Structure 1
Amino acid sequence: MIRMLRKDKYLYLLALPGILYFLLFKYVPMWGVVISFQNYSPYQGIMNSAWVGFEHFGRFFSNPDFWKLFRNTLAINVLSLVFFFPLPILLSLLMNELKGERYKRVVQSIVYLPHFLSWVIIVGITFLLLSQSEGIINKLLVAMGYAKVDFLTDPNKFWMLLTVQNIWKDAGWGTIMFLAAIAGISPQQYEAARIDGAGRLRQMWHITLPGIRNVIIILLILRIGHIMDIGFEHIYLMMNGAVSEVADVFDTYVFRVGIKQGQFSYSTAVGLFKSVVGLVLVVTANKLAKRFGDEGVY
C-alpha cells in the first residue's frame, strides 16, 4: 500500500481536491440526517436532542399534502425524463454529422451557452416573452387579432413550461458526454460500413448508437436516481399563487417548513425520504441494466 502511494503520489495529489470536496460536502453532512429521528433543538445540539424515532416520517406520510407533493415532483421529473433526456442524444448525433470543424465549434458554443445563464435570467426572459400583460408573444397575438394566452398562471401549462425551459437551458450542455463517447468510436467501423454500402443513417443506427449505449444507460440510471429532485431555484422563481397546486414539490415544501418555519427535524425527514427513494431507484435500475447485459453504474 505504501509502495503504491509513493509510486503514484502525484496522481493521488491530483485527486486530493476532489476527495476533500466529497468528504467535506457530501459525507460529513450525512451525520446531520440523525436529526430526522429527533426533536432537534439548535440550543441542545444533535447529541442532546430528544429521540422520537419515526414520528416525523409518520407525520409526513399522513400529511394531506404528501400525495400532492409526490404527484407534482414525479410528474415534472417524468416529463423531463421523457422529453428532455433523449434530446441531448439526438443533438449529439446531429452535431457529429457536421463536417466543417469551425462550423461545428460555433454550433457547439451556441448550444452550450444557455447552460451558463442563471435561472433568474431565464425566468426573467420567460416573463418578458410570455407575460399576459407585457409579454412580447401576447402582444404579437393581439396584433394579429388573437386573444391573449395565459402562459404563466395556467396550471395546465405549468409542467410543460418547466420542461421547455429545462430543454432550452441544458439540452446542449448534455451533449458533452455523448460527443465524448462518440469520439471514442473507431473510425474503421465507419469505413467498413461505407464499403458495405451503409448510408449515414445506417451508420448512425448500427455504429454510433450501439457505441454510446453504455454511456446512455449509465446517465439514464443516474437520472432515474434524481427523480425525486427538482431544482429548487427554478421552481421557486416560476411559482405563483395561481399554479401553487401543481408547482409545490418536495424541495419547496422543505424550504417552507424547514427554513421559514424552523421545523428542522421534520424537513430533514422529508429530505431523507427523497434520498432513500433515489437510492432504491438507482439500485433497481442498475440491476435491471445488468440483467439485460449492460455494465451499469457499478
Structure 2
Amino acid sequence: MANGQSKTVRSTLKRIKRDRTLYLILLPTLIYFVIFHVIPIMGMKLAFYDYRIMGDSIFIGFKNFQKLFSTPNFTRILENTLIISAMKIFLFFPLPVIFALMLNEFKPGPFRKTIQVISYLPHFLSWVVIAGIWFEFLSPSSGVFNMILNSLGFDSVDLLTSKGAIRWILLASESWRSIGWDSIVFFSAIMGIDTTLYEAAKIDGAGRLQIIGYIIIPALLPTMITVLILNIGFFMNAGLDQILNFTNIAVNSKIDIIDTYVYRIGLQNSQYSFATAANLFKGVVGTVLIVSTHLFSKKLTGKGAW
C-alpha cells in the first residue's frame, strides 16, 4: 500500500516537473483563489458568533440563521435571487453554444476573427460602463430604442423603471456582455473535433444540419454538461455588480437579491455576523446544487463535472 502511494507521488512530481511551465502559468490563478476563496472560508465561523469589534465575540449558534429566515423581506429576496439566476443560467446557456456553432460556419479568416474580437470586448468592460451604455440606449428621451419606437408611431417607454421589464434587461445586458466570451470554450471544443468525421459524413451524403446534429452537438455534450453543472454551482450568485448599477427605487423590489441584501446589512449597517450567515446560506445551497446536478447528470448520461 505504502509502495503504491510512493509510486503515485513520484509519478505526480515527475509530471509536475515535466509540465512546470504550465504550472507556473497557472500559479497566479491558484494564488488568487487561495487568497480570496479558500482563506475566507475560515471566516465563515463568524456566522455562528455575535461579532464585536471590541472584546471577544460571543458564540450564539444558529441565531443569526433564525433571524435571517424570519426577516420579513427574506422570502421576496430569495425569490428574486432564484428567478434572476434561473433566467441567466437556463435562458442564457444555449446562446454561447449557438454563437459558437455560427462562428464555426464562417471560413477561417479576417472576417471571423473580427467577429470574435468584437464579441469578446464587452466582457472586459466594467458593469459601470455597461450600465452607462444601456442607460443611453434605453433612455426615454434620447435613447436609440425609443427613437426607433417613435419612428414606428409608438410612444416612448422607460424600461429601466419598469418592474415587468427590468429582469429581462438584466438578462439582455448579461447576454451582450458574456455571449462571445462564454462561447470560447465551446468553439475550442468544436475545433478539437476530428476533421475526418466531417469528411466521412459528407461522403455518406450528410448535409450541414446533419453534421451539426450528429457530429458537432454530441462532441459538445460533455463540455456543455460540465459548464452547466459549474454554472448551477453559482446559482445563488445573481450578479451583485450588475444589479447595483441597474437598480433604482422603482424596480428594487424586483431585483433585490441575497448579495445586495448582504451588502446592505454587512457593509452599510455593519452587521457582519448576520451578513456572514446570509452568505454562508448561499454558499451551502450552491454546494448542494452542484453536487446534486453532478450526480443526476452522472446517473442520466454517464458524464459529470468530475
Structure 2: gaps spanning 5 or more residues = 1-5
2:40 to 29, 32, 48: 29
Identity of aligned residues (%): 40
**Distance in 1 between the 2:280 and 2:257 partners?**
15
Once the two structures are superposed, the pairs formed by residues 47-66 of structure 1 within 5 Å of their partners are 48-66=56-74
Residue by residue over 1:35-83, the C-alpha shift from the partner in whole angstroms, topping out at 9 and shown as x without a partner, is 0000012333xxx310000001011111111110111111111111232
Q: Which amino acid aligns with 2:261?
A: Y
**Distance in 2 between the 1:282 and 1:88 partners?**
21
Superposed CA RMSD in Å reads: 1.7
**Distance in 2 between the 1:139 and 1:164 partners?**
19
**Distance in 2 between the 1:6 and 1:200 partners?**
45
Q: Which amino acid aligns with 1:64?
A: P
Contact 1:185 1:208 in 2 (8 A): yes
Residues 176 and 147 (structure 1), Cα distance of their counterparts in 2 relative to 1, 3 Å cut: same
- Look up the match of 1:126: 134
| Counterpart check, 1:209 vs 2:217 | yes
Contact 1:38 1:50 in 2 (8 A): yes
Residues 7 and 97 (structure 1), Cα distance of their counterparts in 2 relative to 1, 3 Å cut: closer
Residues 210 and 3 (structure 1), Cα distance of their counterparts in 2 relative to 1, 3 Å cut: closer
| Counterpart check, 1:42 vs 2:53 | yes
**Distance in 2 between the 1:122 and 1:16 partners?**
31
Residues 249 and 191 (structure 1), Cα distance of their counterparts in 2 relative to 1, 3 Å cut: same
**Distance in 2 between the 1:196 and 1:245 partners?**
57
**Distance in 2 between the 1:7 and 1:212 partners?**
28
Residues 132 and 16 (structure 1), Cα distance of their counterparts in 2 relative to 1, 3 Å cut: closer
Structure 1: gaps spanning 5 or more residues = none
Q: How many residues align?
A: 295
Residue by residue over 1:78-137, the C-alpha shift from the partner in whole angstroms, topping out at 9 and shown as x without a partner, is 111232110000111111111142221111112111111211111111111112234333
Question: Is 81-90 or 281-290 further displaced after alignment?
Answer: 81-90
Q: Which amino acid aligns with 2:85?
A: N
- Look up the match of 1:106: 114
Residues 70 and 7 (structure 1), Cα distance of their counterparts in 2 relative to 1, 3 Å cut: closer
Residue by residue over 1:215-254, the C-alpha shift from the partner in whole angstroms, topping out at 9 and shown as x without a partner, is 0000000111111102211101100000011011011101
Once the two structures are superposed, the pairs formed by residues 175-194 of structure 1 within 5 Å of their partners are 175-194=183-202
Once the two structures are superposed, the pairs formed by residues 202-281 of structure 1 within 5 Å of their partners are 202-281=210-289
Q: Which amino acid aligns with 1:33?
A: M
Contact 1:214 1:294 in 2 (8 A): no
2:28 to 17, 23, 29: 17
Residues 8 and 143 (structure 1), Cα distance of their counterparts in 2 relative to 1, 3 Å cut: closer
Q: Which amino acid aligns with 2:145?
A: I
Q: Which amino acid aligns with 1:266?
A: F
Question: Is 158-167 or 127-136 further displaced after alignment?
Answer: 127-136
Question: 1:148 is paired with a residue of what secondary structure?
Answer: coil
Compute the TM-score of the two structures, normalised by the length of structure 1.
0.94
**Distance in 2 between the 1:197 and 1:10 partners?**
45
Q: Which amino acid aligns with 1:91?
A: F
Q: Which amino acid aligns with 2:50?
A: N
Per-residue deviation at 1:6?
6.2
